[in-house]
Amino acid sequence: MSEPAKVCDGQGCDNPAVVQLTQVVDNKSTTQYLCKKCARAKGISAQPPSSLDVSDFLAQLGESGSSGSESGTEPCSFCAMTFDDFRESGRLGCSHCYTSFEPRVRRLLSRIHGAGQHAGKVYLPPDPSSAELDRRIAGLRRSLQHAIEAEDFERAAVLRDLIRDHEAAQT
Amino acid sequence: MTEDYFLIPDFGLDWLDAGGPEADIVLSTRVRLARNLQGHRYVCRASAGDREIVFRTVARAVNRGALPPDTALMRMNELGRRTQQILLERRLVSSELIGEAAPDSGVGVAVSSGNAVSVMINEEDHLRLQCLMSGLRLMEGWNRVDKLDEELGGLLQLAYHHEFGFLTSCPTNVGTGLRASALLHLPGLVLTKEIERALRGITQVGLTTRGLYGEGSEFVGNFFQISNQTTLGQGEEDLLDHLNRVVATVITKEREARQVLTRDAGAITEDKIWRAYGLLRYARALDYVELMNLLSGVRLGVSLKLLPSPPVYWLNRIMIFSQAAHLAEAAGRTLSTQERLAHRAQYVRQALRGESGSTTTDPGV
């Protein structure tokens, strides 16, 4: 059975609480139950990130296209998308947009994903440089380790062959 | 020529066979990767000419063997409306690819039915690779889609950034571009009123729940799709591991809830299940939501062995073949709303009667 709903601890507020806020100040722990509105007033997001609201994220971050002091306010040189266009649609127009709006994109990614550095598969383009090969091999080794730990020996064998092929290509 | 593939009754439907692990609870596993081609505008900024170039570039890679030999490559604007809808109902394309707002040219899908993999071309991203399989098989799905990605990536220059990973039109997909999901049937948690708590828990550990048809769709027939939410900062295996662990926990909770139901409310549960079966067996008009809710009861009954039949595989087929476009295809014409309800009820009656042995009618025919 579900727990009975708690009422918001905000002053004069009777809304149902959706956030449990526990704070430790001077070794003393206090817990408050807050509704969405009161939580927002305290600067706390009551909603976990959803894949639908990139525009909301940008609004929360105060990211607008007209704050001219920061780099990345010019339209993208490849697809001519402006940051305001992106704010409106939540979609970037091309790969260059990531560098055109880099500081803002980096902040946004960190907010959405809680991380900024790719830790997955390393892409090897059709005509790779030596540095790209190195990164790829390091990525494959991570996957190999994972496959061994998971006792997925079929996959481990495939990854081992791939690593061997790339190492041969390097020399 | 492409429409000939629909003469194959099970085209793209291997995932219905209920042959995967935990298939009585997990209808399907889907693993998809979002990819874009370097040097081309993304679909939201692309002209018809841009889309055409991307489509042809991908088609060349498909023809050079990037996808398995049985692959069917289809352009959406060469398919009739009903065929497009059938692809949607079989979960081989998304509504973005065929809906009102979809581009009118340069979009399509390549499907290898035998390998359970497909690639949408010029959906939100240039490429959406997917593997759809029965039961809970996240790692196997990943291995298959990764293999496809390797083949395509070896022939096409993909958009990739050493810090941000694979670049996508929506920043919520950037990094791995991986969205993996399991579609679970959770009537036990719904009936014991534990579902809210379970969904809250799933959200708290960084995963997302959606309805049967993905983003924006409602929860129907006690089906819940659980998927990863973030795509950057963790490797594919770690993302899949986490999802797998959470789904396994939800399955355990669902089985416990079913035990509680049979122990504490056995007679009521059995009555509900047989009523659902009876309605499906004799109804003369069924809307899809009602059908899904009744099927949910029957599915639970089969899983608890309170109903001797039909097999889960059969229920999966009924779910797909009783959708609007499939019914229209079977009737050979467009159906009015009232006709559709009647055709659906008739189809379900035949399917269940056929299953019980009095005829040999296959629900897909």
Q: Cβ contacts (< 8 Å) between B231 and chain A: which residues?
A: 113
Cβ–Cβ contact B278 with A under 8 A:
no
Q: Do B203 and A48 make contact, defined as CB atoms within 8 angstroms?
A: yes
CA–CA gap between residue A136 and residue A123 (Å, rounded): 7
Q: Do A125 and B167 make contact, defined as CB atoms within 8 angstroms?
A: no
Structure ipTM: 0.85
Cβ–Cβ contact B181 with A under 8 A:
no
Nearest Cα residue in chain A from B177? A120
Contact B330, B342 (CB under 8 A): no
B-contacting residues in A 96-115 (Cβ below 8 Å): 98, 105, 108-109, 112-115
Alpha helices in B186-323, H assignment, sequence order: 187-191, 195-204, 236-264, 266-282, 288-303, 312-321
Cβ–Cβ contact B264 with A under 8 A:
no
Is the dihedral angle over the CA atoms B192, B195, B196, B201 positive or is it negative?
positive
**Packing angle, helices B337-356 and B324-331, rounded to 10:** 80
Cis peptide before B310 (omega within 30 of 0): yes
Cβ–Cβ contact B65 with A under 8 A:
no
Q: Do A126 and B178 make contact, defined as CB atoms within 8 angstroms?
A: no
Q: What is the pLDDT along chain B (365 residues), one digit of tens a residue?
A: 344 555 556 888 988 888 899 999 999 999 999 999 999 999 999 999 999 999 999 999 999 999 999 999 999 999 999 999 999 999 999 988 998 788 889 999 999 988 899 999 999 999 999 999 999 999 999 999 999 999 999 999 999 999 999 999 999 999 999 999 999 999 999 999 999 999 999 999 999 998 876 666 667 899 999 999 999 999 999 999 999 999 999 999 999 999 999 999 999 999 999 999 999 999 999 999 999 999 999 999 999 999 988 899 999 999 999 999 999 999 999 999 999 999 999 999 999 987 554 444 444 43
CA–CA gap between residue A125 and residue A143 (Å, rounded): 19
Nearest Cα residue in chain A from B156? A126
Instruction: Using CB atoms, pick whichever of A79, A90, A95 lies closest to residue B170.
Output: A90
Contact B126, B40 (CB under 8 A): yes
Cβ–Cβ contact B142 with A under 8 A:
no
Amino acid of residue B64: R
- Among the listed residues A85, A92, A166, the one whose alpha carbon sits nearest the alpha carbon of residue B173: A92
Q: Cβ contacts (< 8 Å) between B238 and chain A: which residues?
A: 119, 146
Nearest Cα residue in chain A from B175? A118
Best of A112, A122, A134 to substitute, by most chain B Cβ atoms within 10 angstroms, is A112
Q: Give Cα A116 distance to the centre of its chain.
A: 6
A-contacting residues in B 7-36 (Cβ below 8 Å): 36
Q: Do A1 and B193 make contact, defined as CB atoms within 8 angstroms?
A: yes
What is the pTM for the complete model shown?
0.83
Nearest Cα residue in chain B from A140? B235
Distance from CA of B25 to the nearest CA of A (A): 21
pLDDT tens, residue by residue, A111-150: 999 999 999 999 998 888 888 899 999 999 998 998 899 8
Distance from CA of A11 to the nearest CA of B (A): 26
Secondary structure class of B320 (helix, strand, coil): helix
Nearest Cα residue in chain B from A156? B143
Q: Do A93 and B41 make contact, defined as CB atoms within 8 angstroms?
A: yes
CA dihedral B169, B53, B45, B166 (to 10 degrees): 20
B-contacting residues in A 5-34 (Cβ below 8 Å): none
